[in-house]
Amino acid sequence: MKLFGSRLSTPALIGIALLVAIVGAGLLAPWIAPYGETDLVGDVWAPPSLAFPLGTDNLGRDMLSRLLFATRTTLTVVILSTIVAFALGVAIGFLSALIGGLIDQLISALVNVIMAVPVLIVALMVLAVLGTSVPVLILTMGILEATRVYRLARAVANGLIVQEFVRIAALRGEGWRWIVWREILPNAVPALVAEFGLRFCFIFLFVASLSFLGLGVQPPFADWGAMVHDNTAAINLGGLAPFYPAAAIAVTTIAVNLIVDWLLSVHARPAGIKE
Amino acid sequence: MHDHPLLDIENLVVTATSGTRLVDSVSLKLERGSVLGLIGESGAGKSTIALAALAYSRPGCHITGGTIRHGGVDLMELDEDARRAYRGARIAYVAQSAAAAFNPALTLMDQICEGPVRHGLASRKDAEAHAVELFTALDLPDPARFGRRYPHQVSGGQLQRAMVAMAMSCRPDILVLDEPTTALDVTTQIEVLVLLRRLIRDQQVAALYVTHDLAVVAQIADRIMVLRHGKLVEEGATADVLLRPTTDYARALVAERTAARSAAFEVEDKRPETVLVLDHVDVSYGPKKAVSGVSFSLSRGETVAVIGESGSGKSTIAYSIAGLVSASGGEIQFDGGDLPPGHRERDRDTLRRIQLVYQLPDVALNPRQSIGEIIGRPLTFYFGLRGEARSARVGELLSLVGLPVEFAQRLPGQLSGGQKQRVCIARALAAEPDVVICDEVTSALDPLVAEEILKLLHRLQAELGLAYLFITHDLGIVRRIGHRVVVLANGKMVADGTTAEIFAQTDHPYIGKLIASVPELDTGWLDRHLQERTAS
């Protein structure tokens, strides 16, 4: 099987299969889930049975159904946050490197100030003030994570700007758009792809921890992080309830990284060399 | 043991993982006190053979056949531990780039003593004493304290000598020298060559000397092996190979060096139409003046060569004309009008008319754009060519620089160094410039490939009436293509005149030294040069 003209490795195929299954389960949730997202259908923390394949949660809702519905909210929030983080971080990082001088210093100083405060504390403050709606959640996490992406994008662009082919483009009189889109971006892709995989996982865990703290996706809607939070007490009773959403988080991050590893192995090869 | 030669390699075969034979059954013998020169262009397998003398191959390569006998013992039959006892102790290696071979975080003494101490040949104290002796023998400044310095605290030539001291630290029988002077200036190269030759004679070691420069090997080697594509082309005593080469390839190599000694074409000094005038140009990087008060002019169809040692400011001049750095004083006039100092202040047409070709074609081409895109972009950008018209013009330009039209589809990674440099030239020509600035365009290329590039540039000048500003440290190139020469030293202009005038000034202290330092294709040149130096 081929993708972008390169053969897929076995781990990449596994990653893609997992991700397709997870996204598919999320999309088809209303049809394949045995019960509704918020329906109280059984006892509290009922063990797995034929009626409830994964048992029930702390309020007696079906675990499998909630897990399926949670896929939608969790993935939407995480993917949108990652996109916001990359759009902002790469754009500002590249421009900062390209303009240089005082503006670069100012932007970098501002980013450092934001980074100096632990993200969780900033997020807690912002969400406490602005309320915990989904758009606010996405923007907050996107902006906070963009600071990390900015640092990488700026460093990569700084390394590329001094390359002679970029100087030649500048000497030709090319505008910044051409230089960013055609000269710098294609050569920055490997580093950015690697960062995307990492950042995706960090944001995933970030959403989970915010939900765990009660500031993420709000009840009664399901979210994997919040589900871990809601069901933690089951650990004391020997129940498996918090394990399922935690496993979902783990499997998704692993699947994404399997694909990213493959993308990297393709892009890290010197341009023009085929296997 | 006396019956065996010191090093006896027979039918050596080195294969890459991909299956290509890098070295194809090459045999060589080395006796005590003799120097064997390995000559060839890059990819000829000369470094691979040199490393194989240590029974070592680079990652991705394997020694798949032949014997490597050291005093009668076949290293290939020993296990890795036994081989390690030979490496460094009996056979030592000197790499091309000393700056990259030394660990920047340790003092020179630490690194030089590491070999003898780790091999258990000497105590640290004895090793240090021996190192100081070697520093003295290698004419290093303040030998007793030299070892306390870190690699970045000494000059390139000194570091290369320290590397020789490191190789000699275990008193090896065989030295493997892999292009030890290639990264050095002509004047520094002589110092290192003289010391190496003395050391080899005094210590009675045998040496393998790898280089692509015939004139250098002529000074130091007793015998020469010419290699190409991993095969032996010609072998013989140095004087025989240089004076009476028997194969076409060896003849071409010798002819290339001989051509460097004499002007290859008629240099006319007509100066019809001046395009570029520099008037007392100063350039500074911060408070430091890199170049001050440089004045010269360039006419259509003319080549002006700017020469000097590294650090003399010759590249800075090129960048200030291109607009990459802004001149801080003086004036640059282009085609009758003032040229704004920075490229951002210049209009598109001015930018189009001055094109720059860089030294290293590998980094001057965007690795993720096809050759067609690279050459086509200036066509779209300056002339608005698109689609069919653009591809047709790209094809014309590729043919003009002697590349097949199909290359438009390829990526830079699929081209050789010489082909990439041709693409860089085609990109510059796409802009239909008046002036082309060539910044050491041939110094990263093999001699025969460089020769082809020079011929190409010369042909293009005749066809298109281009004016070249040629930045170089290679005086052979200047003789062949320069109409006029500007000589720089420490950022100041030392001389300016026609090529013949400049090369006649052998009594000028700086120019004389530059000219005299270029090795000649003659086994006695180094001795004569030393005599002349002591006499004067």
Please write the tens of the pLDDT for every residue from B19-33: 778 888 889 888 888
Instruction: Determine the pLDDT at residue A274.
Output: 37
- Decide: A208 and A228 in contact? Cβ < 8 Å: yes
Q: What gap in Å lies between CA B372 and CA B394, rounded to an integer?
A: 6
Q: Amino acid identity of A248?
A: A
In the predicted model, what is the mean pLDDT of chain A? 85
To which residue do tokens 């630490």 refer? B110
Q: How confident is the model at residue B304 (pLDDT cuts 50, 70, 90)?
A: very high
Instruction: Determine the pLDDT at residue A5.
Output: 58
B69: helix, strand or coil: strand
Residue B398 has pLDDT above 90, yes or no: yes
Q: How confident is the model at residue B2 (pLDDT cuts 50, 70, 90)?
A: low
Q: Amino acid identity of B365?
A: L
Whether the CB of A275 is below 8 Å from some CB of chain B: the reply is no
Give me the residues paired with residue B206 across strands: B174
Residue B221 has pLDDT above 70, yes or no: yes
Exposed, middle or buried: residue B324 (CB in 10 Å: 0-12, 13-18, 19+)?
Answer: middle
Q: Do A171 and B360 touch (CB under 8 A)?
A: no
Q: What gap in Å lies between CA A51 and CA A117, rounded to an integer?
A: 47
Q: What gap in Å lies between CA B84 and CA A45, rounded to an integer?
A: 66
Q: Do B412 and A271 touch (CB under 8 A)?
A: yes
Instruction: Determine the pLDDT at residue A145.
Output: 92
Comparing B326 with B522, the larger pLDDT belongs to: B326
Q: What is the DSSP letter of A182?
A: I
Give me the mean pLDDT over the B482-507 stretch: 86
**Which residues in chain B are contacts of A166 at CB distance < 8 A?**
366
From the list B360, B424, B431, B365, the residue with the least C-alpha distance to B398 is: B424
Residue B18 has pLDDT above 80, yes or no: no
Give me the mean pLDDT over the A113-123 stretch: 89
**Which residues in chain B are contacts of A271 at CB distance < 8 A?**
367-368, 411-413
Size of interface A-B (CB pairs under 8 A): 61
How many CB atoms neighbour CB B328 within 10 A? 16
Residue A223 has pLDDT above 90, yes or no: no
Residue B267 has pLDDT above 70, yes or no: no
* CA-based torsion, A79, A84, A87, A89: positive or negative: negative
- In sequence order, the 6+-apart residues with CB closer than 8 A to the CB of B28 are B7, B8, B9, B36, B49, B225
Q: Helix B371-383 vs helix B417-430: angle between axes, to the nearest 10 degrees?
A: 10
Q: Do B414 and A272 touch (CB under 8 A)?
A: yes
Residue A107 has pLDDT above 50, yes or no: yes
The least confident of A6-20, B169-183, B252-266, B274-288 is B252-266
3-state helix, strand, coil in chain A (%, to 5): 75, 5, 25
Continuous segment of H or E residues that includes residue B11: strand B7-16
A143-to-A94, A111, A123, A149 alpha-carbon distances in Å: 16, 10, 10, 10
Give me the mean pLDDT over the B281-286 stretch: 84
To which residue do tokens 């709000």 refer? A218
From the list B16, B9, B8, B12, the residue with the least C-alpha distance to B65 is: B12
Backbone phi, then psi, for A135, in 5-degree steps? -60, -40
**What are the helix (H) ranges across B40-185?**
46-52, 80-86, 98-101, 108-118, 124-137, 143-146, 156-168
Give me the mean pLDDT over the B200-207 stretch: 87
Instruction: Determine the pLDDT at residue B481.
Output: 83
Instruction: Determine the pLDDT at residue A210.
Output: 86
The least confident of B45-54, B426-435, B438-447 is B438-447
Q: Name residues 144-173 of chain A within 8 A of B (Cβ).
A: 163-173
Comparing A122 with B268, the larger pLDDT belongs to: A122
A115-to-A77, A99, A107, A148 alpha-carbon distances in Å: 22, 22, 12, 8
To which residue do tokens 């030592």 refer? B92
Instruction: Determine the pLDDT at residue B1.
Output: 44
Give me the mean pLDDT over the B335-345 stretch: 86
| Partner residue opposite A171 with nearest CB, options B324, B412, B414 | B324
User: Cis (ω within 30 of 0) for the bond into A220?
Assistant: yes
The ipTM is 0.73
Q: What gap in Å lies between CA B482 and CA B457, rounded to an integer?
A: 12
Q: What gap in Å lies between CA B162 and CA B113, rounded to an integer?
A: 12
B282-to-A239, B293, B313 alpha-carbon distances in Å: 79, 6, 11
Q: Which of A171, A180, A182, A269 to mutate to test the interface with B (most CBs of B within 10 A)?
A: A171
pLDDT in tens, A147-188: 999 999 999 999 888 888 998 998 888 888 888 888 999 888
Residue B377 has pLDDT above 90, yes or no: yes
Q: How confident is the model at residue A1 (pLDDT cuts 50, 70, 90)?
A: low
Instruction: Determine the pLDDT at residue A275.
Output: 34
Q: Amino acid identity of B178?
A: D
Instruction: Determine the pLDDT at residue A271.
Output: 43
Give me the mean pLDDT over the B240-252 stretch: 85
